[in-house]
A and B are shown apart, each in its own frame.
Chain A
Amino acid sequence: MANAVLPTVSPPSVDGPSATRKRPKQKPKRQNLAGWLFVGPVIFGVLFFQLAPVAASLVVSLTNWTGLNSPKFLGLGNYKELFTADDTFWPSLKNTVIFTVVVVVLTIFIGLGLAVLCNQKIKGIGIFRTLYYSPAVTNVVAIGFVWFWLYNPDSGLFNSTLKTIGIHGPAWLSDTKTALIAVMIVALWQGVGYPMVILLAGLQSIDQSLIEAATVDGASAWRRFWSVVFPLLTPSLFFLTITQFITSFQVFGIIYVMTSGGPNNATSVFIFQIYEAAFGHGRLGYASAMGWVLFVIVGVVTAIQWRMEKRWVHYDN
């Protein structure tokens, strides 16, 4: 697949130095304009809509800008306030960390189980696969309302069902003890489809002869999975720990729709606080500082994950 492009990228010094110099010099000259016309719009977009705003955001984070006032330079004042004076910062960070750890671990774990199930040769397995993935394409607002109703302490499906067998169910979203758990259940329900598909693709790309060889050697199914299949899945699992962490740490929609961070900040997460600061209170400078703190946390954790890669990820080549 990748080889097809190699001839145009000028292989080094096979024809001797003079020959390699002549050919590439003609080609790039003709294609510079064309090449930049092809990639130009996207490079412009990335610079104008993403990288420039990221840089600007760092500057804004050092000011008290509201978007309406003339901004005053505060130095690290916003950051200092966030860490020492903001009594919602630490609780929301705690909630975000709990949410992220639970959701990352369980989506990958359950996703792996479902991928193994869906990899069995059974008639109609495609229907199950479709069914398991379908929550992932649903809209978070619509699905938020459905679960909101299912969780209703009096008339919701869960508690009505519990009542028929004589159990008085919890208040779910309106109890500070259960609210975060209730939200995480919805996130899991919607979130396992993606890891499942990635891991299923990983399973299907495994060379069957390796598994057959292990079978011939007398390895049990359990042994075969952990000694042969699992190591070959570690690159996919590594990819998932990185991407699932980044998306879970930025959870917003499900919280916004189901609890708005309540009750009593029990489900308040980091992005929700940024949203409130920027668009609820108009504190754009402060919100930018929070955004950068999030950026740094995500960056550091991702860097650590890359560092740990060698210890557990097995690459076949």
Chain B
Amino acid sequence: MTTEAIRVFNRPPRHIPRRVVLIVVLLFFAVVFAMPLLWMISASLKPENEVLQSPPTFIPSEFQWGNYSQAGHGLLPFFLNSCKLAALNVGFLLLFASLAGYGFARLNFAFKNLAFALLLSTAMIPGIVYLVPQYMLFRQMGWIDTHYPLWVPNVLTPVFGTFLLRQAFRGIPIELEEAAKLDGASIFGTFWRIMLPQVKPALAAVGALTFMGSWNDLFGPLIFLNSTRLQTMPIALALFKGEYFTQTNLMMAAATLTILPPLLLFLLAQKYFVQGITMSGLKG
């Protein structure tokens, strides 16, 4: 049989049913993944008595938008703490990771390979192993119950970010840099003005992943903070359970508000986000 004959023979009978099956399967998984989030939003808008009603109804009988202002009011200080920490983490991590990434990609210095191997090796150490000594270290430094442990160690140990930016810098044509050097630019000037703007997509990818990590961090605030006023959104949510939000609808409104910022960021920066994740699976 010729190839054309095989195509004619193989395709048409399967084509339409296969497409239908595919769409049904896609929709099935869409329901599975969206269902808990949709019920969360549905419950967050219901009057209190309706949440516990059996059998449950998906569409609220009346939309109580007031649940959000009630939940949001209590969460505002913690929202601001989370925003502050996310900004510090993203800003400084991008600075240090791009400096180191450029150094490893383009500069020649003593013990470069050793330093790079050292950096990568730490990616394999489970964080819990150094948690206790870190806790003691921060106590010595007077950092317990401050925000420092939640960003300073992170921004100075950006293993993945350094790796990803190193890869990105290596992809920039060397001629660009040499032209800048001929114009008399310093090493730092070349890095800052010429090279950094070239790796914006990689910076966006690392930035998006760093934001998620900072916003969703549970262990850090749990261990290093004691004062309620310093807490972040996730911990505040845990603290509020039982204390303020004995009502499920308010609890779900608070959960929605906590999930919303990373979800919106993901929807907006999806391309960079996926790129960053994909790069994390890259060998070498």
Residues of chain A at the chain B interface (Cβ within 8 Å) = 1-2, 4-5, 7-9, 24, 27-28, 31-32, 34-36, 38-39, 41-54, 56-57, 60, 67, 114, 117, 120, 122, 125, 128, 130-135, 137-143, 145-147, 149-150, 155, 157, 160-161, 163-164, 189, 194, 197-198, 201-202, 215-216, 218, 235-236, 239-240, 246, 249-250, 252-253, 256-257, 271, 274, 278-279, 284, 287-288, 291-292, 294-295, 298-299, 302
Q: Is B80 engaged at the interface, CB distance under 8 Å to the other chain?
A: no
26 A-B pairs with CB atoms under 8 Å apart are: A4-B174, A9-B108, A34-B109, A36-B103, A39-B104, A41-B96, A45-B153, A49-B134, A49-B156, A49-B157, A53-B133, A54-B129, A60-B132, A60-B133, A139-B216, A141-B218, A146-B40, A149-B43, A150-B36, A155-B54, A189-B36, A194-B277, A198-B278, A216-B3, A274-B128, A291-B129
Q: Quick one: which of B32, B52, B255 contacts A145, CB cutoff 8 A?
A: B255
Judging by beta carbons under 8 Å apart, are A252 and B102 in contact? no
Q: Is B234 engaged at the interface, CB distance under 8 Å to the other chain?
A: yes
Task: State the CA gap A47–B153 with chains docked (Å).
Answer: 11
Known contacts A43-B119, A128-B26, A257 near B238 by CB under 8 Å: yes
Judging by beta carbons under 8 Å apart, are B219 and A253 in contact? yes
Judging by beta carbons under 8 Å apart, are B219 and A252 in contact? yes
Judging by beta carbons under 8 Å apart, are A295 and B122 in contact? no
Chain B residues 226-260 with CB under 8 Å of chain A are 233-235, 237-238, 241, 248, 251-252, 254-256, 258-259
- Chain A residues closer than 8 Å to B122, beta-carbon distance: 46, 50-51
Which of the four size classes fits the interface of chain B?
A: 35 or more
Judging by beta carbons under 8 Å apart, are B105 and A122 in contact? no
Judging by beta carbons under 8 Å apart, are B100 and A291 in contact? no
Judging by beta carbons under 8 Å apart, are B100 and A42 in contact? yes
**Which of A28, A51, A134 has most chain B Cβ within 10 Å?**
A134
Judging by beta carbons under 8 Å apart, are A134 and B266 in contact? yes
Judging by beta carbons under 8 Å apart, are A130 and B267 in contact? yes
Q: Quick one: which of B106, B129, B278 contacts A294, CB cutoff 8 A?
A: B129
Least Cβ–Cβ distance between A27 and chain B, in angstroms: 6
Interface of B (DSSP majority class): helix
Task: State the CA gap A161–B266 with chains docked (Å).
Answer: 32
Count of A-B contacts judged by CB separation below 8 Å? 289
Not counting A34-B109, A146-B255, a sample of 9 additional A-B residue pairs whose C-beta atoms are within 8 angstroms of each other reads A1-B170, A32-B109, A34-B103, A34-B188, A117-B22, A145-B252, A189-B32, A239-B281, A291-B128
Known contacts A135-B33, A163-B55, A252-B219, A142 near B156 by CB under 8 Å: no
Judging by beta carbons under 8 Å apart, are A41 and B156 in contact? yes
- Chain B residues closer than 8 Å to A163, beta-carbon distance: 54-55
Task: State the CA gap A247–B32 with chains docked (Å).
Answer: 23
Judging by beta carbons under 8 Å apart, are A250 and B128 in contact? yes
Task: State the CA gap A4–B107 with chains docked (Å).
Answer: 13
- Chain B residues closer than 8 Å to A4, beta-carbon distance: 170-174
Chain B residues 108-153 with CB under 8 Å of chain A are 108-110, 112, 115, 118-119, 122, 124-137, 139, 153
Least Cβ–Cβ distance between B105 and chain A, in angstroms: 6
Chain B residues 173-225 with CB under 8 Å of chain A are 173-174, 187-188, 191, 212, 215-216, 218-219, 222-223
